[in-house]
Chain A
Amino acid sequence: VAHAWRTTETKWYPLPLAVGALLLVGLAWKHEYQRRRREAEVTLSGDGEVLKLQGPWQVHVLGALPLRQLSRLWGWLNSHELPLWLRPYGYGFYAWLFGVNLEEMDPADLSAYRSLGEFFYRGLKDGARPIAGTELVSPSDGTVVHLGEIQANRRIEQIKGVTYSLDALLGRGQSSTPVLSPSLPPREGTQDSAFAEINGIPYSLISLMGSPSSKPPNAPHRPATPIKAQDQGDRAIHQPVGEKVHHSVQVAQEMGAQAVTSLGHTVREGNSLFYIVVYLGPGDYHRFHSPASWVVEKRRHFSGELFSVNPWLVSRLPNLFVLNERVALLGKWRHGFFSFIPVGATNVGSINISFDTDLRTNAHSAPPVGTFVEASYSSASALLGGWPAVKGEEMGGFALG
């Protein structure tokens, strides 16, 4: 053996591509496995619960995959420009497969979309989605997964009998990193009396805030629903203009443990916390709109996994919405606390917020699971203390990868 070791000539050959690819996948898997082991004991839940991957064997198989890397690879593949002749066939097949309504999209010409990623993030024609006059409207196309009232234990029901913590979803306490102040575009005048009911600011002042003559540089080229002044004069105004909202800690304590600590607010007397979960399928329009007129005060970006969020997995993987990467927009509306939480998934790992171009989701070097980076929008409006989101206005969307 010693003789052979010394005298045998070494010849080097290039590895076949398949072997090289296998080696790379193996290395990625090892890296992911080690990362998961390190993070396995992270306490994600606000009530001290240690969250671990649990469920049937399919869940563990999914958990072993490098989902974030796969998501970014998927996005990269779908950002490539397709040849002009292929576009109508390719997108037409996608539309047939997932039930996309091609007649309502804008532009209507399929060859105008350079890549599948662009087609996926398509816009809609004006008037395709009328906005209902009721207080809360759907922020997106999709299917209602669950809805209800949050009880005093501050847990949200994922499926029957399986819950996750409200504090884990929205974050509790302060971010471990400094609070960011993203550069926000100048805000157009907002003529919506609902804002007067939020902060008790005279309606006349609200209509003048921002820079009426300037358009946000990163505003979508044409929102699906134009922003218009809304006549909400038929609403009962529950408090006189100019009077500050009184949040009574004592009242909240009497009601039980309902305090919304994520913003330091407490629930008003006679109010409760409610939730609704909307799932967007692959064929759905993937931009989201403001479900009400409200003020976005903070953004919390939670790093996390990118499991699929289809109803099948929702019913099998507890704490799915707390494990996944998400952006929690926190603020207030006329009844008090309001939050809007887009949750990413494997195929749609990128969450865009139209007015916050500093936000980067599904990044290569993500901070540890369970932590969040906080940004304050207080500079958007000195009067309202945040970004005024008008009901029906486009707020952002989900992009492939």
Chain B
Amino acid sequence: STIVLVFEAPQRWEWSVKPGEKVRVGQALGD
């Protein structure tokens, strides 16, 4: 199963993760 998020954000948006990285519920994805 997979979850896709599509959202609007300011162009200065920065990701905290990168492809291939393991994540857990509640972990920061971006800000």
Contacts and interface: CB of A to CB of B under 8 A. Distances in A.
B20, B21, B24 interface centre (most CB from chain A within 10 Å): B24
A372 interface: no
Given A144-B17, A147-B19, A341 B28 contact: no
Nearest to A345: B1
Interface string B6-31: 11111101011111111111111111
B27 to A, nearest CB: 5
Contacts of A267: 8
Interface string A258-289: 00100001011011111111111000011011
Task: Please classify how large the interface on chain B is, using the bins under 10, 10 to 19, 20 to 34, 35 or more.
Answer: 20 to 34
A156 to B, nearest CB: 7
Contacts, number: 176
A278 B2 contact: yes
A292 B6 CA distance: 12
Contacts of B28: 132, 134, 136-138
Interface in A331-348: 333, 335-345, 348
Contact of A280 (B3, B6, B11): B3
Interface string A222-242: 001100000000000000000
Interface in A162-178: 166, 169-170
A49 interface: no
Contacts of B10: 270-272, 335
A343 B1 CA distance: 6
A143 B27 CA distance: 12
Interface in A132-185: 132, 134-147, 149-150, 156, 166, 169-170
A194 to B, nearest CB: 13
A276 B5 contact: yes
A141 B23 contact: yes
A136 B30 contact: yes
B2 A280 contact: yes
21 contacts: A132-B26, A136-B31, A141-B25, A142-B23, A144-B19, A144-B23, A156-B6, A169-B4, A225-B26, A271-B8, A271-B10, A272-B13, A274-B6, A276-B4, A309-B1, A335-B9, A336-B7, A336-B8, A339-B7, A341-B6, A345-B1
The 3 lowest CB-CB distance pairs between A and B, nearest first, are: A336-B8, A131-B26, A132-B28
Given A343-B1, A348-B1, 10 more contacts: A129-B26, A130-B26, A137-B25, A141-B24, A143-B20, A145-B2, A272-B10, A273-B6, A337-B7, A338-B7
